[in-house]
Structure formats: structure tokens, C-alpha cells
Structure 1
Amino acid sequence: MKTIYDVQQLLKKYGTFIYTGDRIGDLELMNMEINELFQLKFIHKEDYIQAKLLLRKEITRLSNEKKGRISHE
């Protein structure tokens, strides 16, 4: 698993499609779904860890980008 798209495909396997129009919100919902799939033992620990890292990295990147845009306006 290397991209957010890969995380989406993993969720799709379990019937979870997330799109709200808010990218950060979508990523946070994906994070919650990944937690639940792991707790229910549907996904392996390695997939869980990789998905969590990818989601955290993207949320941080988008948050920093958003903060930068606000401070420059």
C-alpha cells in the first residue's frame, strides 16, 4: 500500500465508499473505518499500520497547506 488510492481500494473491498466533498473530512472518515476494520480483525496489522501512516501524512500535508493559504490571504 503506497497511496491514498490504495487505502480507498482496501475500504472498497469491504463495501466502504467515502466522498463528502471535504478531502480532510474524507481522510478522517477513512481513518475511522480503518480502525474499525482492524478492531474487527478484517485487515492485517501491516495493512492497518501502512494505511494509518498514509492517512496521517496526507491529513498533515493538507492541513499545513490550508494553514499556509490562510496566512497568506
Structure 2
Amino acid sequence: MSRRARVSYDLDTGAIKRLPDVEIKAILRAADEIISVGGRNMLCFILKGSNNQQIKKHGLESCPVYGF
């Protein structure tokens, strides 16, 4: 099986020039929790405070930035 073709995309940042330090630290803190467990989607689920099965399976609802 071959890999899927990558789709190019552009992010619209709107008027955001830089994220506040608090938000950057929260993202990095959550990313640290999922190093061997998940990827971008799981990071979003943690920051959103999702009740995803994978979040519960790995005990990530106890992450300090869960539901940031």
C-alpha cells in the first residue's frame, strides 16, 4: 500500500500575531503528556476537555491543562 498524498493547506491566523505565553505553556504541557500516546488530535482533545475513550484509557483527564 502506498502513502496517501499530502494535501497542502494554509492556516488563516486572522489578527493573531503571537500566542500568549500562558497558551504556549499549556500546549507544551499537554504535548508532554502524550509523547508516546497520541498526536495532534489527542492534543486537541486534551486541551478541549473531551471525554474521548483514548483520553480516559491513558488517564489523560488528570493532565493539569485538561479542558484549558
Q: Would you say same fold, with TM above 0.5?
A: no
Q: Which has the higher helix share?
A: 1
Q: TM-score, normalised by structure 1?
A: 0.32
Q: Which has the higher contact order (CA 8 A, sep 6+)?
A: 1
- Give the TM-score, by structure 2 length: 0.34
